[in-house]
């Protein structure tokens, strides 16, 4: 009788090289070659990226508004 298959169990002693993968944005196209998707995270339904972007934009707008309010208050205080 001859063995038909050999199944190995366990972990290898060798440590494999780390693979360098291209980002999905660099290899994904829409409808034809060269048509890139600008907001791939939305297509993949990863809305956390969009929420973070919107949050950062809101944060900067609130900071600008806060500075304008402080300047206005300082002007009023100086007039008195």
pLDDT single digits (tens) 1-42? 888 898 888 888 888 888 888 887 778 777 778 777 777 777
- Indicate whether 59 pLDDT > 90: yes
* Cα–Cα distance measured from residue 72 to residue 6, given in angstroms and rounded to the nearest whole number: 80
DSSP result, the chain: ---S-----S--SSPPPPP-PPPHHHH--SSSTT---TTHHHHTT-HHHHHHHHHHHHHHHHHHHHHHHHHHHHHHHHH-
Map out the domains of the chain as residue ranges.
24-79
- pTM, two decimals, is 0.46
pLDDT at 12: 82
**pLDDT over 80 (residue 62):** yes
Where residue 80 falls among pLDDT bands split at 50, 70, 90? low
pLDDT (tens digit, 9 = 90+) per residue, 39-48? 777 777 788 8
């Amino acid at each position: 009788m001859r063995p038909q298959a050999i199944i190995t169990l366990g972990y290898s002693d060798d440590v494999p090289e780390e693979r360098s993968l291209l980002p999905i944005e660099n290899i994904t196209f829409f409808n034809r070659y060269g048509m890139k998707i600008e907001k791939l995270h939305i297509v993949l339904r990863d809305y956390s990226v969009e929420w973070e972007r919107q949050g950062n934009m809101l944060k900067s707008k609130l900071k600008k508004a806060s500075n304008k309010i402080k300047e206005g208050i300082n002007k009023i205080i100086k007039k008195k």
